[in-house]
Amino acid sequence: MELTVLGCSGSFGGPGGGACSGYLLQSGDTSIWIDCGNGTFPHLQEHLAVEKLTAVVLTHGHPDHCVDIYGLHVLLRYGLEIENMPVFAPKGLEGYLLTLVHDFGNTFEWNPVGDGDCTKIGDVTLNFSRTQHPPPTYAVEARADGKRFVYTADTGPDWTVGAFGPGADLVLSEATYLHHDRPAPIHLSARQAGEAAREARAQRLMLTHLWPLNDRDATAKEGAEAFGDAVTLATPDLVTVI
Ligand SMILES: [Zn+2]
Ligand SMILES: [Zn+2]
């Protein structure tokens, strides 16, 4: 598998092309856009011809994870004339997104996701786990080629990556805050992200959903100390082989 970061700013877009949450996960001919945060669609188009997109996964309905689906809708419907793009999203999210548009026509095929659900998209098997975050939010585990990737989506510390079992090859964890300034238990600090990944014996850890006002070096240092090994900080257009 290969992971491309399309955006990694936590909760609001940062300066200098700092798009919000979005990732392109690829295995063979399978290309899955996980989270369509604001600013990620332009980055997606730099890495993939959109007609080759296999499916979309939305972890939850916060705008920084889903609003660029409107741009995808316009391109698919009026530009490429592609219908029935599979979208995997929490139950009810389709209706929530429809409050801003008249309708999506036949652009999308909506597949509701719930806790513990498993589905196969092309070469990739996906599992979903409900995290600690106010709207229904699902972390994603992806398996292909004997490798395992886990993305926390947004979560507080009462859900951990260990929910998918130990030893993931790559954990992509939100790390919105530095530990001393975390304001609410609906996100993780870099320390909490590192501790959870260490306890789950993750092979590698990448930190994302980074609060743009925070110092990146401080986030990396705090995360690495807790993880017990070096961590990677997500940055737009970073490509990682899993
Ligand atoms: Zn978020
Ligand atoms: Zn959120």
Q: Which DSSP string corresponds to 79-145?
A: II----EEEEEETTHHHHHGGGSS--TTSEEEEEE-TT-EEEETTEEEEEEE-SSSS--EEEEEEET
Kindly give the distance from the C-alpha atom of residue 187 to the centroid of ligand 1, in angstroms, as a whole number.
8
CA pair distance 59, 143, nearest whole angstrom = 17
Kindly give the distance from the C-alpha atom of residue 79 to the centroid of ligand 2, in angstroms, as a whole number.
30
| Both structure tokens of 240 | 């990682």
Kindly give the distance from the C-alpha atom of residue 65 to the centroid of ligand 1, in angstroms, as a whole number.
6
> CB atoms < 10 A from the CB of 142, how many?
26
Kindly give the distance from the C-alpha atom of residue 60 to the centroid of ligand 1, in angstroms, as a whole number.
9
Kindly give the distance from the C-alpha atom of residue 60 to the centroid of ligand 2, in angstroms, as a whole number.
7
Kindly give the distance from the C-alpha atom of residue 166 to the centroid of ligand 2, in angstroms, as a whole number.
25
Helix or strand holding residue 214 (H, E): none
Ligand that comes closest to the CA of residue 61: 2
CA pair distance 58, 155, nearest whole angstrom = 14
pLDDT along the chain (242 residues), means of 10: 98 92 98 98 98 98 98 98 98 96 95 98 97 98 97 97 97 96 86 98 98 96 98 97 98
Q: What is the pLDDT of residue 102?
A: 86
Kindly give the distance from the C-alpha atom of residue 81 to the centroid of ligand 1, in angstroms, as a whole number.
30
Pairing mode, strands 55-57 and 118-121: unpaired
Ligand that comes closest to the CA of residue 65: 1
Ligand that comes closest to the CA of residue 176: 1
Kindly give the distance from the C-alpha atom of residue 154 to the centroid of ligand 2, in angstroms, as a whole number.
5
Kindly give the distance from the C-alpha atom of residue 91 to the centroid of ligand 1, in angstroms, as a whole number.
18
The structure tokens 């993750």 sit at: 202
Q: What is the pLDDT of residue 183?
A: 67
Among 104, 155, 146, 108, residue whose Cα is nearest residue 128: 155
3-state secondary structure of 35: coil
DSSP H helices in the chain = 40-47, 63-66, 69-74, 93-97, 190-199, 216-227
Pairing mode, strands 55-57 and 205-208: unpaired
Kindly give the distance from the C-alpha atom of residue 80 to the centroid of ligand 1, in angstroms, as a whole number.
29
Cα 146 off chain centre by: 21
Q: What is the pLDDT of residue 181?
A: 82
Q: What is the pLDDT of residue 237?
A: 96
Whether the CA torsion 199, 201, 204, 206 is positive or negative: it is negative
The structure tokens 């979309």 sit at: 56
CA pair distance 133, 127, nearest whole angstrom = 18
